[in-house]
Amino acid sequence: MIKDVNKIVLAYSGGLDTSVILKWLQQEYGCEVVTFTADLGQKEEIEPARSKAKSAGVKEIFIEDLREEFVRDYVFPMFRANAIYEGEYLLGTSIARPLIAKRLVEIAHETGSNTISHGATGKGNDQVRFELGAYAINPEIKVIAPWREWDLLSREKLLKYAENNNIPVEMKHKSGGSPYSMDANLLHISYEGRHLEDPKNTPEESMWRWSVSPKDAPDDSEEITIGFKSGDPISLNGSNKSPHEVLELLNNIGGKHGIGRLDLVENRYVGMKARGCYETPGGTILLKAHRAIESLTLDREVAHLKDEMMPRYASLIYNGYWWSPERVAMQTLIDHTQLNVNGWVKLSFYKGNITILGRDSDSSLFDPEIATFEDDDGAFDHQDAAGFIKLNALRLRIANKKIKL
């Protein structure tokens, strides 16, 4: 157990894990617990967390709408980098942890607490993400991670503890047993546990919450236009929107057309492989659109440099290093590349598919006079290509003479 704890700020959702943790902290540490619930756009009622915390004897309850800050200061900077982990994962859970960690530490300071607590398990990535973020902001903060201290090491044991301590639990699975382990925010919703723990099992259709199956999506396609400024989406169909409004609307459109489902076996930072399912409809659309507008506005070598950096950048976020100096340095370069990423992209959605219909920008580097297949009036001298090819072939020709492959 952590020593010299005067007050604890708990990241609290009101769900199974954190409801049990709240009671456990009160019993084991015998001190006041402050609850913090972040509204990150998880599409569920936040206020019930207040009544649950009150009924558990909590006196200081923080419930905050962080949707705009989350999308503006975390999601959008990440999408400027086109970040994808292991080729598929859009980092929906990972990118929310730095903001939650920041507010936990800030609330601890505001309430005179020297300790924070979270509900991440000892097998997962989130414990690393929360704690790296907290220590980066306040090196002296104490952290209680109940999953590393108690013996309630399964969701079935959590349910039994809740029953024994009269803790109300919703979200039980209709077939009995523990519910899926889920995490949701404006960028995504994730599912782990139950039969997903065997990678050969197909996800239940009833599990998915944000999207229809592509085969059940509308038979008619839908088109939208996304406007960009400095790499960030600022409008939909010509109407200016705030960051969180953009993502929320894209989620609704994408979900309706069966866009953004992912079933992934990923490599966790702690060393194991884990299987998770994700719904990221708005993020899937945004990534496609952002790459389309970049294709017009970024210099070739800058675009390729970004693509080379992206896997490292994505790993930093996945592993919990949002507040690290290397991520900040990379972000500075990435943001500089986005200064002229302005314009619009038109897209079509149909049964799980996204099609780019067109794009335009006042900052476009596309020159139709040079790119044309018709007569370019001398804008491009075809004879220049011969020397270009010979120079680039020089090392290959020398190698052929000296070394027989």
Number of domains composing the chain: 3
DSSP 202: P
**Any domain includes 77:** no
Q: Tokens 């994730």, residue?
A: 190
Both 171 and 193 in one domain: the answer is no
Give yes or no: residues 115 and 237 share one domain.
Answer: no
195 and 124 share a domain? no
Which CATH number fits the domain that encloses residue 43?
3.40.50.620
Q: Does residue 198 lie in a domain region?
A: yes
- The listed range with the strongest mean pLDDT (162-166, 359-363, 383-387) is 359-363
- The CATH number assigned to the domain holding 217 equals 3.90.1260.10
Confidence tier at 177 by pLDDT (50, 70, 90):
low
Dihedral of CA atoms 391, 395, 398, 402 in degrees, nearest 10, equals: 180
The pair phi, psi for residue 394, each rounded to 5°, is -55, -50
The last residue of one of the domains, among 158, 179, 200, is: 179
Residue 354 in any domain: the answer is yes
Which one is predicted more confidently, 180 or 341? 341
pLDDT of residue 270: 93
175 pLDDT above the threshold of 70: no
**Residue 155 clears pLDDT 80, i.e. is over it:** no
Give 76's contacts (C-beta < 8 A, 6+ positions apart): 231, 232, 233, 243
Strand (E) or helix (H) holding 224: strand 222-229
What pLDDT, on the 0 to 100 scale, is given for residue 46?
86
In a domain, 50, yes or no: yes
From first CA to last CA, the distance across the chain in angstroms is: 64
**117/251 same-domain check:** no
H helical segments located in 257-358: 281-297, 300-319, 325-337
Burial 158-188 (b: 16+ CB within 10 A, else e): bbebbeeeebeeeeeeeeeebbbbbbbbbbb
Average pLDDT, the chain: 95
- At 288-339, the pLDDT tens digits run 999 999 999 999 999 999 999 999 999 999 999 999 999 999 999 999 999 9
Which residue range is the domain that position 257 belongs to?
189-360
122 and 204 assigned to the same domain: no
- Identify whether residues 149 and 260 lie together within a single domain: no
| pLDDT value at residue 178 | 58
Same structural domain for residues 238 and 345? Answer: yes
**Are both 231 and 251 inside the same structural domain?**
yes
Q: Is residue 267 part of a domain?
A: yes
Same domain as 297, residue 252: yes
Is residue 227 pLDDT above 80, yes or no?
A: yes
Tell me what the mean pLDDT of segment 141-158 comes to: 92
pLDDT tens digits along 14-33: 988 999 999 999 999 999 99
The answer as to whether 393 is a domain residue is yes
Residue 168's pLDDT band (boundaries 50, 70, 90)? confident
Confidence band of 170 (pLDDT split at 50, 70, 90) = low
Which residues participate in catalysis according to the annotation?
Answer: 17, 97, 126, 181
Neighbours of 341 (CB within 10 A): 20
- 1 in a structural domain: no
**What residues does 7 pair with on adjacent strands?**
32
pLDDT attached to residue 376: 80
- State whether 143 and 265 are in the same domain: no
* Residue 275 sits in the same domain as residue 324: yes
Q: Are residues 194 and 173 in the same domain?
A: no
Confidence at 172, pLDDT banded by 50, 70, 90: low
Give the pLDDT confidence of 50-71 residue by residue, as tens digits. 999 999 999 999 999 999 999 9
Give pLDDT, residue 171: 53
In-domain check, residue 79: no
Dump pLDDT digits (tens) for 210-224. 999 999 999 999 999
pLDDT at position 57 is 96
Of 123, 150, 179, which residue is a domain's last?
A: 179
Torsion of CA 21, 27, 29, 31, to 10 degrees: 100
Say what the pTM is: 0.94
